[in-house]
Chains A and B, each alone.
Chain A
Amino acid sequence: MRKSLLTSVDSIFSKISESMALFLPVDDPTGRANYTRWEEGKKWSEALNTVKSPKDFFFPQVEDLMKFKVSGKNIELKNTAKIDEDFVVFGVRPCDVRSFDVLDNVFLSEPRDGYYAARRKHGIIVSVACSKPSETCFCHTFGIDPAGEYGDVTVWKGENELFWKANTEKGEKVMELISEFTESCDDNAADDIKAKIEKIAEKLPLRNLSAENFGGDKTDEYFDRPEWKSLSESCLGCGTCTFVCPTCQCYDIKDFNTGKDVIRFRCWDSCMYSEFTQMSAGQPRLTQLERFRQRFMHKLVYYPANYDGMFSCVGCGRCLKSCPIHMNIVKVMKTLGGKADE
């Protein structure tokens, strides 16, 4: 474990940026944090969470896959994706780091998604422990420790110091790069901070939310539950929850004709949309109830069924804060899961 002065953080950022792109949460004028490329003058945000999750780095909202040009009977293909440089994402919260595992299961299992894989290969994740969790946090439900060690490097933030620990080879490389600003310290140096975090975490209102009633074998139990009607009835069908969600991974592939050539790109899509996975015969889920149920069943039942019981929610709480009508996975879990035992 190494430590650095909090005051030297900008020098550290500057150092990292010399050799690779560095991204970190920065507040915009309205006080909302979003990941931004660091440059001189950008300040690391104090905010717990960014509005958009860091999944954007590996699975961007819009990503050009290739270009092609049709002239006469010839089609000329051009690969536009150029992902060959390392980059650092700093300040990722433990829940968000876990979300990459969720995405990895999907994109890195066969058939492997080359674009995603390349980004994962080049991305270095520096996680930062959550010193100030919010009332909307429920990562504990999914076994995540807000003070735990995640990513390639973990950072604990103290009053005046940062404590650094490399978890992977990629992480070691970064630590080496900034070694001039850090000094070695006791491996227990961050324990105070961890304890403090745990103490706060115990007070979180959603601390006792349990996912044990959910899992891969529960399809029959939940699919036809009458509560879906009242839960989904005020859903606007917007995509806010899916777009701020770190684990939602649905996308659409579309062509854009520039007039000179055609760009084939993919972009996030949302299972909440009535046009989602529209096919010539229509869409598979006809009502908002079905679409709403799909999202939560996927997070709590289908995904665990596919990936060894792992849930595809990490409890970051973004959807709790941004849903226009305040309907969210916590309300769904409490409404359905609470009655499962009866």
Chain B
Amino acid sequence: MDNKNSNLQAEIVRMSGVNPRKCMRCGKCSATCPAYDEMEYHPHQFVYMVENGELEPLMKSKSIYKCLTCFACVDRCPRGVEPAKLVEAVRLAVIRQQGKNHLKPEDIPPIVDEDLPQQAIVTAFRKYAK
């Protein structure tokens, strides 16, 4: 694993507060995931890939945006690994890589369309703010 990758991996682990090494590969996260069929990589694979530093394919994959953050996997995981938090951290890592660290107030109006739920806006703030 190269240095940059291992830094990124550490960063994701730190952001998520998740220790992927606790995973015992039972697959209950995937078994319980409602968005499973939409995904190329599945929750148990997210954990595995982060643990092994296979971050690039994961970050490029659309799978991470299929996660609904319903936290079913977090609730069911017998080891307390919390895959959904890991997914969120990977998404954040992508955003940061794109340099979109901060959301300026003037950026908001165009992205807020009428149908967008309040919650999504708040989530966006959470994602973009450091």
Query: Are chains A and B touching directly in their complex (CB below 8 angstroms)?
Result: no
Taking beta carbons and an 8 Å cutoff, which residues of B are in contact with A? Answer: none
